[in-house]
Structure 1
Amino acid sequence: ERAVEIFPRLKFHGENEMDVLCLSTNEHHQLDGILKEEDGSIWVGKVKALRLGGCAVEILPKLWLHGENEMDVLGVRADGAGQITEMLKKENGSVWVGKARKLNVEKYAAEILPKLGFHEDNEMEELRLNVHEYSCLTELLKEENNSVWVGRVKEVRLEGVSVGLFPKLGFHEENEMKRLSLYAYTSKQIPGILKTTGSSLWVGKVKVLRLEDYAIEMLPKFRFHEENVMEELSLSSDYSRQITGILGEERNNIWVGRVRVMRLEGYAVEILPKLKLHGENVMEELSLSADDAE
């Protein structure tokens, strides 16, 4: 961990390219010298994989990345709110990361999402949030819907309380996701979403949509691109209480558009009459399975 203290003293070549830069420390005092540096003053050049853990997340604003840098992976993890105090003081969108193909955010590091600035042409292969406690999202949940800009993202996977962040994410209006996977295990994980009215959550185009358990209740809130064609719509529910809201909808009231393959598992089978398909939709496969319902 103490090696973090000497990091600012290292001098990298102007055309330096690193495969991996990994910095981690749980001792905030080890960053005293680094935090005194100007933002964007520590040259690192091009970095393919950048991973920051614990208090080292605070170093991110200090790094000076090559203007043409494109990271394969940016991973940030913070185990406590005290490890990101300086980051939370930054203006939204002011911490430049440029282009990143995969963004992995864990625990309290989720709070810094609004602070990150991505290149306008950035297209992420995957956005993954691993958050299991509401205390990790105190500030982020205060953000306006669609205000946390992530741009174009091909795959989004949110589980547990992180599902509640979905409305906060701002996607490019022409974004086309290969896969959107949402898993909510209790209704308390998506209270704000359930209170929204109409189809207010922009999804755009998505090839594969998978919703499990209480996340199914989000389906009426989604707004898809008018030209969207889903390769697969998969809904799975183990308990009837996970779909009580949808069961109260009118028949053919939940627009899903064109769907080639539809898979409904468990109690999700009961919502089939509520779904509205495109008038010219041609479905290749409809799979209904209630065997796993309890």
Structure 2
Amino acid sequence: MENNSIWVGKLKKLEPSDYTMSILPKLRIHEENVMEFLRLSASKPEHITEILKMENNSILIGKVNNLIFSDYAVGILPRLGIHGENEMEELGLLAEHFEYISEILRMENNSIRVGKMRSLVLGEHAVEIFPKLKICEEGGIEEFFMVTDNPENITEIFRTENKNISVWIRKAKKLRLENCAMQIFHNLKFQKENVIAEICLSADCPYHITEMFKMENKSIQIGKVKRLELNCYAI
């Protein structure tokens, strides 16, 4: 069947996974549809082979409140055409293995348009594609959650050309960093006048915070915080 040949009109929830991912381009969704929940999951590369052959922004999904990607499905993020006026409640990306995001890493920074969102969740290797996201400058991210067990996943974030990344994180009202993601905390350089509602830091193992152990006491400035939560080795 041709792409956009199956008229589904308006729908609230869609969760294709594995081989059913291939029907996503076939669906024709009403351009003014507001989907409450779209979850995409693919455990094998062949599940998204045909989609990866398509052009970026070619799969029109209208407006989405909650957009979740996991495993190989993360790789099709650039192929989705999100409504220009969309304001997401949450964008979640989880990639346990490097091959899930290898193609996206070849893209230029700020090249994947995701628009406005209230909450951004990045897990494991998906952390590495943060610089590739083009987030709407108006409003900013209210809640930012990052977790990874691999310190190499965070190295790309603080390269010189990606300094705007730390600006986005500092603007968040709620910040949650777990395990090796905690190591970006001392690089955020909060200002004294900065006000954040909640910071939660958690580390399951000592090696998750190796770099922070090397720092002097009281050397990490966090500005004004209404609620600070420290768990496990983060204490």
With the shorter chain as reference, the TM-score category is 0.7 to 0.9
* CA distance in structure 2 between the partners assigned to 1:188 and 1:47 by the alignment: 39
Shift of 1:111: 0.4
Which residue number in structure 2 is paired with residue 148 of structure 1?
112
* More displaced stretch, 81-90 vs 174-183: 174-183
5 Å-filtered alignment, 1:26-37, equals 34=1, 37=2
Shift of 1:108: 0.6
5 Å-filtered alignment, 1:151-170, equals 151-170=115-134
* CA distance in structure 1 between the partners assigned to 2:190 and 2:89 by the alignment: 20
Check if 1:241 corresponds to 2:207: yes
* CA distance in structure 2 between the partners assigned to 1:76 and 1:130 by the alignment: 11
Residues 147 and 170 in structure 1, CA contact (< 8 A), matched pair in contact too:
yes
Residue type of the alignment partner of 2:168: V
Would the alpha carbon gap of residues 250 and 95 (structure 1) be closer, same or farther in structure 2, given more than 3 Å must change? farther
Q: Structure 1: any 5+ residue segments left out of the alignment?
A: 1-33, 269-289
Which residue number in structure 2 is paired with residue 178 of structure 1?
142
Check if 1:187 corresponds to 2:144: no
Shift of 1:69: 0.5
* CA distance in structure 1 between the partners assigned to 2:12 and 2:192 by the alignment: 37
Compute the TM-score of the two structures, normalised by the length of structure 1.
Answer: 0.69
* CA distance in structure 2 between the partners assigned to 1:92 and 1:227 by the alignment: 40
Residue type of the alignment partner of 1:148: I
Match of 1:118 among 78, 82, 85: 82
Shift of 1:256: 4.2
Would the alpha carbon gap of residues 248 and 107 (structure 1) be closer, same or farther in structure 2, given more than 3 Å must change? same
Residues 153 and 176 in structure 1, CA contact (< 8 A), matched pair in contact too:
yes
5 Å-filtered alignment, 1:221-232, equals 221-222=187-188, 229-232=195-198
Check if 1:206 corresponds to 2:172: yes
Which residue number in structure 1 is paired with residue 66 of structure 2?
102
Residue aligned with 1:190, SS: helix
Residues 112 and 132 in structure 2, CA contact (< 8 A), matched pair in contact too:
yes
Q: Structure 2: any 5+ residue segments left out of the alignment?
A: none
* CA distance in structure 1 between the partners assigned to 2:131 and 2:186 by the alignment: 13
Residues 203 and 222 in structure 1, CA contact (< 8 A), matched pair in contact too:
no
Match of 1:63 among 17, 22, 27: 27
* CA distance in structure 2 between the partners assigned to 1:228 and 1:93 by the alignment: 36
Identity across matched positions, percent: 38
Shift of 1:88: 0.8
Q: What's the CA shift string for 1:37-90, capped at 9, x where partnerless?
A: 1x3232111111112122322222222111211101111111211121121122
Residue type of the alignment partner of 2:174: V
Residue aligned with 2:128, SS: helix
* CA distance in structure 1 between the partners assigned to 2:4 and 2:192 by the alignment: 42
Residue aligned with 1:219, SS: helix
Would the alpha carbon gap of residues 49 and 244 (structure 1) be closer, same or farther in structure 2, given more than 3 Å must change? same
Shift of 1:96: 1.0
Compute the TM-score of the two structures, normalised by the length of structure 2.
Answer: 0.85
Which residue number in structure 2 is paired with residue 137 of structure 1?
101
Would the alpha carbon gap of residues 148 and 47 (structure 1) be closer, same or farther in structure 2, given more than 3 Å must change? same
Q: Which has the larger radius of gyration?
A: 1
* CA distance in structure 2 between the partners assigned to 1:81 and 1:264 by the alignment: 38
* CA distance in structure 1 between the partners assigned to 2:222 and 2:131 by the alignment: 18
Greater strand proportion:
1
